[in-house]
A and B are shown apart, each in its own frame.
Chain A
Amino acid sequence: KAGVTQTPRYLIKTRGQQVTLSCSPISGHRSVSWYQQTPGQGFQFLFEYFSETQRNKGNFPGRFSGRQFSNSRSEMNVSTLELGDSALYLCASSLTSNQPQHFGDGTRLSIL
């Protein structure tokens, strides 16, 4: 069974640009969550989607947004990139919201 797939694996952008990251959950999983991981802050929750609806949102500015499609695939978008957005962005999927989350390899975003 294929795991959680995140694309791209690495991304380099400059300040002010925008970026879209993609996540394909494990087949059959309907819940997708996104996390930001940095050396200083550790893991921070961004948002969770279930059946195309955002169910929960972390404490991030409106520049961070996401969506989920009918096939459960999810994207997150960050607009007007800042240097502080450099991080590893992790996607996790689970069968339903109250099930263990399975993580992808992440997308490492570097802002120059």
Chain B
Amino acid sequence: AQSVSQHNHHVILSEAASLELGCNYSYGGTVNLFWYVQYPGQHLQLLLKYFSGDPLVKGIKGFEAEFIKSKFSFNLRKPSVQWSDTAEYFCAVNKGSDSGYALNFGKGTSLLVTP
């Protein structure tokens, strides 16, 4: 079955530490890739997306992600986290027009940044 895996369920970092959250998917062929963030008490927000082109994509708030097709991965990175990055992070994938645009989400990674 097609799936999206996020390897780290809970991550605790100190402020200024570097962040990398893993995301792997099991789809073949062309995919669209997304990272969403949910801050406490807020709705899901789009951090960044990859549709095509440069596999290194930059999003809001200093986040970036790299699409590595050979590894079926789309890992999220930030060089230096802040306390305000405490949130839940979701990786999501869709296949595009041949299978509809329904998003398939990973289970999420809860990030706690300590002062």
Contact = CB atoms under 8 A, between A and B. Distances in A.
A and B found bound together: yes
B70 interface: no
Given A42-B107, A42-B108, A98 B101 contact: yes
B43 A3 contact: yes
A33 B32 CA distance: 16
Interface string A22-46: 0000000001010100000011010
A90 B38 CA distance: 13
A58 B107 contact: no
Contacts of B105: 42-43
Contact of B104 (A33, A45, A56): A45
Given A42-B107, A100-B46, A48 B102 contact: yes
A97 B101 contact: yes
- Taking chain A's interface residues, is the majority helix, strand, or loop, or is none over half, making it mixed? strand
A103 B97 contact: no
The contact size tier of chain A is 20 to 34
B100 A55 contact: yes
A105 interface: yes
A101 B43 contact: no
A36 B59 CA distance: 26
Nearest to A99: B101
B96 interface: yes
A56 B97 CA distance: 11
A100 B33 CA distance: 10
Interface in A82-112: 90, 92, 94, 97-98, 100-106
A48 B101 contact: yes
Nearest to B102: A45
Nearest to A96: B101
Interface in B100-115: 100-108
Contacts of A102: 46
A100 B100 contact: no
Instruction: Sort A-B residue pairs by CB-CB distance and give the 8 closest, nearest first.
Output: A56-B100, A43-B105, A103-B44, A45-B102, A97-B101, A105-B43, A42-B107, A103-B43
